[in-house]
Amino acid sequence: MTTSDLNRLKKSYDMPVANGICTHDIDHPDSCAPNYSRITKEDRRFFKGNRIEAHDKTHCSDHQLLKMVDADFSVISEDFNSRIFNRNYPNSIHWLRSDNGDELGRFSDKRQIMHPIDAIHYFKEFCNKSQKQINLDILGFEPGTRKLYFASKLTDRSPELVHVGDATDHWMIFTIDYMQPKSMKTFVWHNELVCTNGMTKKVTEDAHHLSHRKIRNFDDIAPYLENALFECSAYEDLKDKLINTKIDPITARNVIKQFFRDETEEHEKSKSLNVARLERIYEHDLIGGHLDTRQGNAFRLQQAFTQWTSHSRKAKTEDYRFSQKLGGDLARLDNRATDLIKEAVGIA
């Protein structure tokens, strides 16, 4: 018996025992426990709504997984009916949940249905066919916005990860928004670990959208998911450029004013509360601002904006904030701010 085996044996006696729970170390050859360290506390702070960590539930069927997030339903369509005039309008269709009759949305009769069970099949099929080691890690349903999402972590960090410096985790997220016409979208979520600030980048394929104007299958969706894998390296390249590009305080303040369309003169103090809050974050309250990679450069300014949308900007609920980070107003604000910063410092 090796020293390592003896240490593991000693540790097992020190651990509490529970029926049905494996007490081996995760890396022990006889361990039956999944590697829960794949999903970090930083990850859990982002995902909202009804969500589960699906990576460790391989024994569950797809219907069981959907049931855990209250999304195990089929979509039923019916003509809009006016009770006042006792009349049906076949060009205006209601989508309803098959399990409880709750309304999902109302659309034209041209929109084709994507059932949750089909969506989870497509996402899993892509993960299985991909040359990357990716899985369905998070499954969620945000009931307020009727948004179903599937997430795969593209950065697999070791259990011994020490959160030092400006490490970034990347997530591929596929969403179905049952309240929006252009409902199927693919995003990459870039999560800065030191501050849990982050932004999403929408993934497109030939500048087209995955709408419900036609019946979709796996071959339609796969290119979007594949392009998400390339978006990670693009973000890392942009981050490196922002870190290595200096920006003076006056230029930074002008970018903030330009973002909020504040026409206050350069020597005058702005009356805008948003401008004042962003300047405060940038100059004093930036989480992780002590790091060398956030000193006097464009990345510091960019992170001030993402901190504002991730933590400070008012939102009805944290679940709603999450939904808005996935293709909503907050995602657009993040990308607009980043474009303004790139333009101000001359990054192509």
290-310: per-residue pLDDT in tens? 999 999 999 999 999 999 999
**Residue 236 included in any domain:** no
Same domain, 95 and 175: yes
Quote the pLDDT of residue 17: 35
Give the residue from 231, 266, 301 where a domain finishes.
231
Same domain, 50 and 13: no
Same domain, 48 and 128: yes
**Residue 300 included in any domain:** yes
Same domain, 251 and 296: yes
Same domain, 28 and 53: no
Same domain, 64 and 151: yes
Same domain, 267 and 146: no
pLDDT less than 50: residues of the chain: 1-2, 4-36, 158-164, 206-210, 212, 214-215
Same domain, 250 and 290: yes
| Dihedral sign of CA atoms 112, 115, 120, 122 in order | negative
> How many structural domains comprise the chain?
3
Same domain, 219 and 95: yes
Q: Tell me the C-alpha distance between 189 and 323, whole Å.
A: 12
Same domain, 127 and 273: no
**Residue 331 included in any domain:** yes
Q: Tell me the C-alpha distance between 118 and 141, whole Å.
A: 15
**Residue 239 included in any domain:** no
Give the residue from 202, 231, 260 where a domain finishes.
231
Same domain, 217 and 249: no
Q: Tell me the C-alpha distance between 139 and 199, whole Å.
A: 19
**Residue 117 included in any domain:** yes
**Residue 237 included in any domain:** no
Quote the pLDDT of residue 128: 81
The whole domain housing 25 covers: 3-33
Same domain, 93 and 217: yes
| Dihedral sign of CA atoms 136, 138, 141, 146 in order | negative
Quote the pLDDT of residue 29: 37
**Residue 238 included in any domain:** no
**Residue 326 included in any domain:** yes
pTM above 0.85, yes or no: no
**99 neighbors 73 (Cβ within 8 angstroms):** yes
